[in-house]
Amino acid sequence: MEKIPVRQRIDNFKKFYKMELEDGPLVGFFLETYFPLKRYRGASTIPDDIISPKDIRVEEFREDYERLFRLHEDTGGDFIWTATPFWGLPWMEAIIGCDVYADHKTGSTRSVPPEDFMDEEDIREFDPKNPWVEKVGEFLSMLTETSHGRYPLGTTLMRGISDLLSALYGNPDFIYKLVEERDRQKEIAKKLTSIWIEFARYQIKRIPEFYGGVGAFFYNLWMPGKGTMLQEDASAMLSPKLFGEVIYPCICDIIKEFDSTVIHLHPSMYIPVEYLENTELSAVELHIDFGGPRAEELCPYYKKIIAKKPLIIWGDIREEDFDFIERNLDREGLALLPVVKGKNEAEDIWKRFKS
């Protein structure tokens, strides 16, 4: 496929956010494994156990960013490759006091609840001198130098408030806490929201402007102004009432602090579309997971989202999903980011939507 100039891709993203695309949906491609310890070769130096910021050698990752940028550009598409501090770590969880473990067998990392966590006072305040925060700053300095303005930078993986409550208490214990101690958990959620916002601000201050905006981790989006990505995976386990009373106000507080905010959700037990469709979110990303519901099953949610917000679909998008999406979803505010095995598969998908 023909390589699209960056300026044209930026213009297409602007149309996407306005839901004014004219030539079909935005189409991009995700190649190679999405398990971060396997995707980034620099992560091979991270110990296979509990880890600290000192175990993360930023310079070891430099070539990964160049390699992944070249792979993305060689494949083509509408999306814009974005470099962020290594998104394979639970940065927010580490900042609030959770221990972090690496598992090279699975290719992922995880956090464990702090042993001494009891109440709001036990949550660390945001501190730019926190070694985990400083490590993110170190990544951003390296990436600014390496990018030379060729691609945007973005904020790293930042799990949202429901995810952080789950990290502090464990799963499903955090749900019991929300049910039994609603008011207390609201106060804890407010503090977590403040830390989240401060950490995002810390990064955005260190991210160079790219055509009037920034990039988005993992999804290779361009976002106008000073933007960030939010995810609320653990919200899928909540009731609409719990989500509305505790998590929704926090999301609204985050959204109003930034020029643009895109939220990632998993298609699971509960998808809070009825709340999110009425926010100032810039877009909503809802996966098609491997082994999860297909596009036809998710269509009611997709239609509710795209009636009011731009919709991004990432993941295991199969032939039957593409067929269904083509027939049933409006394209003016739609972006597709399928996981593909190679350039030939990407070319076939591109021709389907762009010819």
Q: Where are any strands of DSSP class E within the chain?
A: 26-27, 30-31, 50-51, 99-103, 108-112, 213-216, 221-224, 227-231, 260-265, 283-286, 311-315, 334-340
* Number of other residues whose CB lies within 10 A of the CB of residue 180: 9
Q: What spatial distance separates the first Cα and last Cα of the chain, rounded to whole Å?
A: 11
Cβ(285)–Cβ(249) under 8 Å?
Answer: no
Give the chain's domain count: 1
- Mean pLDDT of the region 204-213: 98
Range of the domain at 207: 6-354
Phi-psi region of 15 (alpha: psi -120 to 50; beta: other; left: phi over 0): alpha
1 within some domain:
no
3-state helix, strand, coil in the chain (%, to 5): 45, 15, 35
CA dist 8 and 13 (Å) reads 9
CA dist 104 and 231 (Å) reads 24
173-180 and 182-204 are packed helices; what angle lies between their axes, rounded to 10 degrees?
Answer: 120
131-147 and 182-204 are packed helices; what angle lies between their axes, rounded to 10 degrees?
Answer: 30
Give me the pLDDT at residue 201, please.
99
Q: Which letter, b or e, does each residue of 48-70 get, where b requires 16 or more Cβ atoms within 10 Å of its Cβ?
A: eeebebeebebebbeebbeebbe
- Mean pLDDT of the region 89-98: 97
301 within some domain:
yes
Q: Which letter, b or e, does each residue of 86-118 get, where b requires 16 or more Cβ atoms within 10 Å of its Cβ?
A: bbbbbbbbbbbbbebbbebeebbbebebbeebe
Cβ(333)–Cβ(21) under 8 Å?
Answer: yes
When pLDDT is cut at 50, 70 and 90, the band that residue 2 belongs to is confident
11 has a pLDDT exceeding 80: yes
Residues 24-33: tens digit of each pLDDT: 999 999 999 9
Cβ(123)–Cβ(188) under 8 Å?
Answer: yes
Give me the pLDDT at residue 346, please.
97
Q: Which helix (H) or strand (E) holds 273?
A: helix 273-276
Whether residue 172 is preceded by a cis peptide bond, meaning omega within 30 degrees of 0, is yes
Residues 287-334: tens digit of each pLDDT: 999 888 999 999 999 999 999 999 999 999 999 999 999 999 999 999
157 within some domain:
yes
Give me the pLDDT at residue 355, please.
72
Give me the pLDDT at residue 267, please.
86
CA dist 131 and 59 (Å) reads 17
Structure tokens at 163: 């995810």
Give me the pLDDT at residue 178, please.
96
User: In this structure, what is the dihedral angle of CA atoms 134, 135, 141, 146, given to the nearest 10 degrees?
Assistant: 180
Cβ(83)–Cβ(40) under 8 Å?
Answer: no
Residues 225-269: tens digit of each pLDDT: 999 999 999 999 999 999 999 999 999 999 999 999 999 998 888
Give me the pLDDT at residue 124, please.
83
Give me the pLDDT at residue 147, please.
98
**Arithmetic mean of pLDDT over the chain:** 96
Q: Which helix (H) or strand (E) holds 69?
A: helix 62-75
CA dist 94 and 51 (Å) reads 10
Residue 136 C-beta-side C-alpha neighbours within 13 Å: 30
248-255 and 182-204 are packed helices; what angle lies between their axes, rounded to 10 degrees?
Answer: 20
Residues 109-135: tens digit of each pLDDT: 999 999 888 778 889 899 999 999 999
The enclosing domain of 60 has a CATH number of 3.20.20.210
Residue 86 CB contacts under 8 Å (≥ 6 apart), including other chains: 36, 40, 42, 43, 56, 61, 139, 156
205 within some domain:
yes
218 within some domain:
yes
What's the pTM?
0.96
Give me the pLDDT at residue 291, please.
87
